[in-house]
Chain A
Amino acid sequence: MSGFVASLITLGFLAQVLRIAIPYVLAALGGTLSERAGVIDLALEAKLLMGAFAAAVLGYETGSIAIGIAGAAAAGVAVAAIQAFWSVRLGADQVVTGIALNLGAFGFTRYLLGVRYGQGANSPRFDGVGTGVLTNPISWIAAALVALVVVGLGQTRLGLRVRAVGERPDAVAAAGVSVARVRWLAVLIGGALAGVGGAQLSLPVDGFVAEASGGRGYVALAAVIMSGWRPGRAALWCLAFGLADAVQYRMQTHGVGLPAELTRLLPYVLALVLLAAWPRRVAPPRALGQPD
């Protein structure tokens, strides 16, 4: 037990928390952008998964980490493009669209693994970015993006427009700005962020494993909601989920407390308890889920 506690007050543990939190953080930033623009982002899971897949496969095939990360962003954008076309152009039900994309990504990644590598379980291993935090370019990208989204959404003209189309699309349209274009932009940028978050699920472990996203997209959306759709706070909530995840890993390795089957559930339990108990003082974007 004392060994377990001591292991929590080390730099190694802090690094582990950050490493685990990065996919949550980037997905939550992406989710914040598209939800502030009025598009429900239940497709975060698909963006993380496709990002993880693209990063590992492109990284393995080209031997370039940079191409892997760029591919992850592109994969996230691709999912977001379908989502935006359905939500903004077709006026589809946004909840159902997101769920369709998540289900599709699960099947599509396994199908592609099967076609390319003859089995649907994982991609070939290669030298990824390693488990270090400071040596991992995604860490620095994530840190920069947190600042960029916080400032960009709060302080820039584009950020103002994104927030406006989520609250009063009619007013934006009356001012002569295309609501659809702003929403497309917000959803696509959000997709790129979540896609890069996915890269963190495969590059540090040297390959892609089927279903690597493991529900993190939904937990990230829970963080967005609990933050009151504010990117900085959403990132902080994601750090809390990363902390919960890291603690449960340490509990498993030190054999402390509950059995492994149950400690694994810590982030989910935390998300449900917080969703039920956390007081919501901030209303969601008024036009969330409403096509035009």
Chain B
Amino acid sequence: MTGRARTIHLAVVALLATMAVGSVLMIVAGASPLHAWGQLLRQTLGERQGFGQVLFRATPLVFTGLAVAVPLRAGLFNIGGEGQLTAAALACAVVAAALPPGLPAPLAVLIATAVAFLAGAVVGAATGAMRIYRGAHEVIVAIGLNAIIAGVALWLGNRSLFVGESTRTATIPAAAQLPELGLAGSSASVSALGALGVAALVAWLLARTRVGFTWRMTGQGLDAARAAGLPVDRARVWAMTVAGGLAGLAGAHFVLGHKHAYEDGLGRGVGFLGIAVALLAQGQAMAIIGAALVFGVLGQGGLAISSDVPKEMVDVLQAVVVLVAAASLGRRKR
């Protein structure tokens, strides 16, 4: 199969499997699948407020999806989105709250976003370096770092950063806050547009630049790429570094565009969900936007029908998508 045919094939199989498993889970929970799917779609795509919430949910998934797609291209697996997001969100909130008053809004947003990218990138770089230079499996390292970062963030918060008895840092100044899109009171903010821009930028990076070429060659055959004289090791650490930064942008989205502070547990699960998004999109940067919208609909719709079906149904469906993608990924390698 050609690349495009394979992408469509995977998407169709994944959606059919999702619908089948979802329907079974609905029946087991005592709900009528026809009614439940209808409600799920109506309350997400059928009304402005619901669709705004879908956009709000899809925005960070674009970032964490890209954070999985970039290393995947270079043959590495980034399951550290959770920790990268957390580190970035905390750094972003702390720096933004400390910005001098009177700073013009674009500059404040730019600085806070850059801090988030850098904080995520540092975590990504550490994971990549452990893998490349110490031979430690990147999945185990990333899971360990996820736990360590969550614990350290909570400790820092409780020790000095959280305000009063809350588990929330100080509110960032208005200049650093991203305006909402104004979709019927939904939480969708301007960061949705930022996600589109970043996806386009990553698509260009992967397809048209030297480093993108090196990543692709590395992912297709490590030894061949090394024999061809490509800087394989450095490129792979860079792939994890950029990935960490991209996941960090999801943290900036939550802090600057929604909560206007760091809260304990902010964005939990979004890093993992990025894996399903990236795999459904077969690692294609622009297709990630569509995949993120699918999971935005599922997540928001799952909430809409949660009185009939436990909302964790969506987590199971996410796993179904990843399983379908795993089968496709394995076959492609042979």
Interface residues of A (CB under 8 A from B): 42, 82, 86, 90-97, 99-101, 103-108, 110-111, 113-115, 120, 215, 218-219, 221-222, 225, 259, 261-262, 264-265, 268-269, 271-272, 275-277, 280, 291
Question: Hey, which chain B residues are within 8 Å of A94, CB to CB?
Answer: 326, 330
Report Cα–Cα, A286/B41, bound state, in Å.
48
- Which label, helix, strand, loop or mixed, suits the secondary structure of the A interface? helix
B213 interface residue per 8 A CB criterion: no
Q: How far is the CB of B158 from chain A (nearest CB, A)?
A: 7
Verify B312–A268 contact, CB threshold 8 A: no
Question: Hey, which chain B residues are within 8 Å of A259, CB to CB?
Answer: 155, 158-159
Verify A275–B325 contact, CB threshold 8 A: no
Verify A92–B330 contact, CB threshold 8 A: yes
B139, B147, B323: the one contacting A42 at CB < 8 Å is: B139
CB-based A-B contact count at 8 angstroms: 157
Question: Hey, which chain A residues are within 8 Å of B135, CB to CB?
Answer: 280
Report Cα–Cα, A262/B202, bound state, in Å.
36
Known pairs A104-B316, A106-B315, A107-B318; A221 contacts B147 (CB<8 A): no
A218, A261, A268, A291: the one contacting B139 at CB < 8 Å is: A218
Instruction: Jot down 12 A-B pairs with beta carbons below 8 A, ordered by A.
Output: A92-B330, A94-B330, A99-B139, A100-B326, A107-B315, A107-B319, A108-B316, A110-B315, A215-B143, A272-B130, A275-B136, A277-B134
Q: How far is the CB of B79 from chain A (nearest CB, A)?
A: 6
Known pairs A218-B140, A221-B140; A265 contacts B322 (CB<8 A): no
Q: How far is the CB of B132 from chain A (nearest CB, A)?
A: 12
Top-6 shortest CB links A-B: A107-B315, A104-B319, A114-B310, A100-B322, A261-B155, A96-B326
B314 interface residue per 8 A CB criterion: yes
B4 interface residue per 8 A CB criterion: no
Verify A261–B320 contact, CB threshold 8 A: no
User: Besides A95-B139, A265-B152, 5 other CB < 8 A contacts?
Assistant: A82-B323, A93-B326, A93-B327, A110-B310, A219-B144
B221 interface residue per 8 A CB criterion: no
Verify B148–A86 contact, CB threshold 8 A: no
Verify A272–B316 contact, CB threshold 8 A: no
B1 interface residue per 8 A CB criterion: no
Task: Encode contact with A along B142-175: 1 for CB under 8 Å, 0 otherwise.
Answer: 0111011001101100110000000000000000
Q: How far is the CB of A247 from chain B (nearest CB, A)?
A: 16
Known pairs A107-B318, A110-B315; A261 contacts B151 (CB<8 A): yes
B58 interface residue per 8 A CB criterion: no
Known pairs A115-B28, A225-B137, A262-B155; A104 contacts B320 (CB<8 A): yes
Report Cα–Cα, A216/B221, bound state, in Å.
32
Verify B319–A276 contact, CB threshold 8 A: no
A95, A108, A218, A262: the one contacting B144 at CB < 8 Å is: A218
A99, A108, A218: the one contacting B322 at CB < 8 Å is: A99
Report Cα–Cα, A105/B323, bound state, in Å.
12
Known pairs A93-B333, A262-B152; A114 contacts B312 (CB<8 A): yes
B interface size (C-beta, 8 A): 49
The chain A residue with its CB closest to the CB of B29 is A115
B37 interface residue per 8 A CB criterion: no
Q: How far is the CB of B98 from chain A (nearest CB, A)?
A: 23
B window 80-105: CB within 8 A of A: none
Verify A86–B326 contact, CB threshold 8 A: yes
Q: How far is the CB of A280 from chain B (nearest CB, A)?
A: 7
Report Cα–Cα, A204/B327, bound state, in Å.
37
B30, B141, B154, B330: the one contacting A90 at CB < 8 Å is: B330
Verify B323–A111 contact, CB threshold 8 A: no
Q: Counting chain B CB atoms within 10 Å of each CB, which of A105, A114, A280, A291 scores highest?
A: A114
B window 301-334: CB within 8 A of A: 310, 312-316, 318-320, 322-323, 325-331, 333-334
The chain B residue with its CB closest to the CB of A260 is B155
Report Cα–Cα, A42/B79, bound state, in Å.
12
Verify B130–A261 contact, CB threshold 8 A: no
Report Cα–Cα, A213/B79, bound state, in Å.
17
A97, A110, A215, A291: the one contacting B334 at CB < 8 Å is: A291
Report Cα–Cα, A222/B143, bound state, in Å.
11
Verify A215–B272 contact, CB threshold 8 A: no
B77 interface residue per 8 A CB criterion: yes
Known pairs A92-B330, A280-B135; A104 contacts B151 (CB<8 A): no
Verify A275–B134 contact, CB threshold 8 A: yes
B25 interface residue per 8 A CB criterion: yes
Verify A97–B152 contact, CB threshold 8 A: no
B277 interface residue per 8 A CB criterion: no
B136, B148, B272: the one contacting A276 at CB < 8 Å is: B136
Report Cα–Cα, A90/B333, bound state, in Å.
12
Report Cα–Cα, A17/B147, bound state, in Å.
21
B window 266-300: CB within 8 A of A: 272, 275-276, 279
Report Cα–Cα, A10/B315, bound state, in Å.
43
Q: How far is the CB of A260 from chain B (nearest CB, A)?
A: 9
Known pairs A86-B327, A107-B314; A96 contacts B279 (CB<8 A): yes
Report Cα–Cα, A264/B154, bound state, in Å.
12
Task: Encode contact with A along B17-28: 1 for CB under 8 Å, 0 otherwise.
Answer: 000000001001
Question: Hey, which chain A residues are within 8 Å of B331, CB to CB?
Answer: 90-92
B25, B79, B313: the one contacting A99 at CB < 8 Å is: B79
Known pairs A103-B272, A215-B143; A86 contacts B323 (CB<8 A): yes
Q: How far is the CB of B105 from chain A (nearest CB, A)?
A: 35
Question: Hey, which chain A residues are within 8 Å of B130, CB to CB?
Answer: 272, 275-276
A91, A101, A264: the one contacting B330 at CB < 8 Å is: A91
Q: How far is the CB of A37 from chain B (nearest CB, A)?
A: 17
Q: How far is the CB of A206 from chain B (nearest CB, A)?
A: 23
